[in-house]
Structure 1
Amino acid sequence: MRGPRALLATVLVCEAIVIALAIPVAVAVLKVDGGLAGLVCGGLAVVCVLMAGLLRFPWGVAAGSVLQVAVIATGFMVPTMFGLGILFGVLWAGSIWLGRKAEKAQAR
């Protein structure tokens, strides 16, 4: 799955930015402990950026798919992340689909 890597990496980096921006919302608005919010959201943001670089490995797309579930789960801390996580999951799935479609077109 070489084709969609750039698109998938873009989704992950944008996702990292959104997750990182959820930290101040969790702390200031929802009164979540700053250490917990930083650990969970900050940790996931770092993992998203790292996964963007690890997409070159055969297991990268599968690991990124598991990461999408973890991002949706941040909705238990910041409820808006349920919707945003689902949105990024749809972007992730769409990127995989478009990448496979492009690979088939190039093979012809």
Structure 2
Amino acid sequence: MKGFRGVMSGTLILEAITVGLAVPVIARLGGGVGTAKGWTVIAVAVLLVLCCGVVRRPWAVPVILALQVVLMAFFFLNLTAIGVIGLLFLAFWLWALWLRRDVARRMAAGTLPSQQPPAA
């Protein structure tokens, strides 16, 4: 599953960039970057980048999902745009985790195309 760790790291970087690009939204609609909302968004973006270094740890996936919940909490802080970012990336993470589970199940069963004998 080394390839999945690469997908996770790439997605985390893309998500951090997306969250970082939402900082002007905070500056305009959220009362400013110096507010608690602004610092929280910046902290989440930094934590997303730092998670790239720990994707091989067993606790990385729960931490990543918790960061998605933090982003979705912005729905309740009247910053719908940030909440939508969290919702979209949560949907991706759930799909990617389902896909990883399906590939692992198929690997164990020996039904992946790469595990089949070559046709004669």
After TM superposition, the score normalised by the length of structure 1 is 0.84
Partner of 2:118: none
CA RMSD across the alignment: 1.9
Percent identity, aligned pairs only, is: 33
**Secondary structure of the residue that 1:34 maps to in structure 2?**
coil
Cα shift at 1:69: 0.3
Partner of 1:82: 83
Deviates more, 1:70-79 or 1:39-48: 70-79
Is the counterpart of residue 54 in structure 1 residue 54 in structure 2?
A: yes
Q: Where does the alignment leave 5 or more consecutive residues of structure 2 unmatched?
A: 111-120
Q: Figure out how many residues of one structure are paired with residues of the other and give that number.
A: 107
For 1:6, give the aligned amino acid. G
Give me the whole-angstrom Cα distance separating, in 1, the residues matched to 2:18 and 2:104.
29
Partner of 2:33: 34
Cα shift at 1:64: 1.1
What per-residue deviation string (whole Å, max 9, x for no partner) do you get for residues 23-44 of structure 1? 11211x3152221254111110
Q: Where does the alignment leave 5 or more consecutive residues of structure 1 unmatched?
A: none
Give me the whole-angstrom Cα distance separating, in 2, the residues matched to 1:86 and 1:31.
19
Contact 1:3 1:99 in 2 (8 A): no
1:9-48 mapped onto 2 (5 Å cutoff):
9-27=9-27, 29-30=28-29, 32-36=31-35, 37-48=37-48
For 2:103, give the aligned amino acid. A
* Stretches (4+) displaced over 3 A: none
**Secondary structure of the residue that 1:58 maps to in structure 2?**
coil
After TM superposition, the score normalised by the length of structure 2 is 0.77
